[in-house]
């Protein structure tokens, strides 16, 4: 199947700093990418949907100025957590789907810890 690579897999940052997470589709063109957040032992909550070259569409309750999403190419989307705080600590997962594709492929996830 298609491969989605997410980097870094784990990051620890100080409160107030920004962290960038990358999501790359390695062998297909990802016209749509999705960012999810997962709390321990809970489901994945959709944060935003981004189509290549367009602004991301954020879900209700997700601060777009805090979680900056860029999808500048068909193989790369980034999520930047700005001015991170301990409550932003979570597991972030990206997924990508090609145009006309029925399934989405998931990255390995990024464990963010804000201290």
Partner 1 sequence: AQSVAQPEDQVNVAEGNPLTVKCTYSVSGNPYLFWYVQYPNRGLQFLLKYITGDNLVKGSYGFEAEFNKSQTSFHLKKPSALVSDSALYFCAVRVNQAGTALIFGKGTTLSVSS
In the complex, which residues of this chain contact partner 1 (CB under 8 A)?
1, 4, 6, 32, 34, 41-44, 46, 49, 51, 91, 93, 95, 99, 102-109, 111
12 forms beta bridges with: 113
Instruction: Say which residues have a Cβ less than 8 Å from residue 48's Cβ, sequence separation at least 6.
Output: 34, 35, 56, 57, 58, 59, 62, 64, 67, 69
Min. distance of Cβ 92 from partner 1 in angstroms? 10
Question: Is the CB of 36 or the CB of 84 nearer to partner 1?
Answer: 36
* Pair 66, 83: CB distance under 8 Å: yes
Decide: helix, strand or coil at residue 91. Answer: strand
Question: Is the CB of 19 or the CB of 23 nearer to partner 1?
Answer: 23
- Cβ burial of 12 (10 Å; 0-12, 13-18, 19+) is exposed
Min. distance of Cβ 21 from partner 1 in angstroms? 12
Min. distance of Cβ 80 from partner 1 in angstroms? 20
Question: Is the CB of 30 or the CB of 84 nearer to partner 1?
Answer: 30
Min. distance of Cβ 93 from partner 1 in angstroms? 6
């Amino acid at each position: 199947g298609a491969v989605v690579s997410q980097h870094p897999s784990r990051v620890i940052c100080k409160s107030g700093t920004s962290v960038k997470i990358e999501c790359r589709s390695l062998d297909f063109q990802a016209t749509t990418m999705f960012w999810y957040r997962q709390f321990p032992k809970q489901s994945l909550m959709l944060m935003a949907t981004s189509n290549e070259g367009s602004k991301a569409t954020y879900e209700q309750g997700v601060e777009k100025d805090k979680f900056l999403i860029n999808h500048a190419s068909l193989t790369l989307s980034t999520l930047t957590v700005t001015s991170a705080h301990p409550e932003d600590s979570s597991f972030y997962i990206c997924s990508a789907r090609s145009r006309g594709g029925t399934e989405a492929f998931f990255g390995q996830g990024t464990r963010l810890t804000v201290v």
